[in-house]
Amino acid sequence: MNTVLKGIITPIVTPFNDDESINVPELRRQVERQISAGIHGLFPCGTNGEGYILNGEEKRLVLETVLEAAAGRVPVYAGTGCVSTRETIRQCQMARDAGTDVLSIVTPSFGAASQDELYEHYLAIARAVPDMPIVLYNIPARTGNALLPATVARLAGIDNIVGVKDSSGDFANILAYIDGGRAKENSAFSVLSGNDQLIIWTLLAGGRGGVAGCANVFPKTMASIYHLFIAGRIEEAKAVNESIASFRACFKYGNPNTIVKTAVAMLGFPVGRCRAPFNRVPQEGMNALRKALEECRAKGLE
């Protein structure tokens, strides 16, 4: 419960072998690569980690591997959200027992949930793991369910719900989350941007950082946004934040996490493809991605 939520957290990719089994040695390598680059946290089994398509045992393997490789050097945020409250609690308990620092719980998907149902879902989870800090995760384009600011403000009143990650891409929503979380004692509620291009603006508005998929590709560059912000070098931080725009423009060619993992592979790391069927990038996208990576590396991004 004493973990400080801040900085740039990498939703680390899950490397696969050709048969779609988990490439454990490469996962360890990616953990070391991220920490060496100065990243402030690791988030396995999130969207970029393809948590939505891993089974329970695979999630355990990924999480235990990341925890062992990180060895306490940075906090580990485990993606434990499932469709049902029951299975989410089971995954949260597994992650707690493995030694996870923070739980990140995405909203349920497929079924349309009311705000009261979402509140009761998170309340039940918080009560089941009262010793674990919980970060809410809003990504309505993927789940079909949005956590409204009023619901987030209500959930912030629960002791072990300590923050929210917003991947809606709506900066007004982030601002509303920040305002709603201010009611929590000692400013203990943290708002994290799940949209890479909004990280510096979230920090300037009072947020604590971001969960940045692009950090899988450019960990040192992404981590520097927070370092520059803390140092008061705001214009430089803004410039770095903007420097990833050409890479993010490639997201239109497929799932953003598919583009990110493909880019990591293009850099020479054997992370494999995303698990089928979410693993296609059209040739036009591959060409654009190669060009963007060349441009970014020419600008010094790493």
The residues assigned a catalytic role are 137, 165
- C-alpha–C-alpha distance, residues 65 and 12, integer Å: 12
- Put the strands of the sheet holding 7-10 in their side by side order: 41-42, 7-10, 209-211, 190-193, 161-166, 134-138, 102-106, 77-79
Does a cis peptide bond (omega within 30 degrees of 0) precede residue 270? no
- C-alpha–C-alpha distance, residues 165 and 194, integer Å: 6
What are the E-state strand segments in 142-215? 161-166, 190-193, 209-211
- C-alpha–C-alpha distance, residues 203 and 186, integer Å: 18
Question: Which tokens in the block code for residue 22?
Answer: 């988990």
φ/ψ region of 178 (left if φ > 0, alpha if ψ in -120 to 50, else beta) reads alpha
- C-alpha–C-alpha distance, residues 254 and 256, integer Å: 6
Question: Which tokens in the block code for residue 116?
Answer: 């009261």
Query: Which has the closest alpha carbon to 8: 239, 196, 201?
Result: 196
- Using CA atoms, how far residue 177 sits from 77, 86, 149, 166, 180, in Å, is 20, 27, 5, 9, 5
Question: Which tokens in the block code for residue 204?
Answer: 């300037």
φ/ψ region of 145 (left if φ > 0, alpha if ψ in -120 to 50, else beta) reads beta
Element (H, E) at 42: strand 41-42
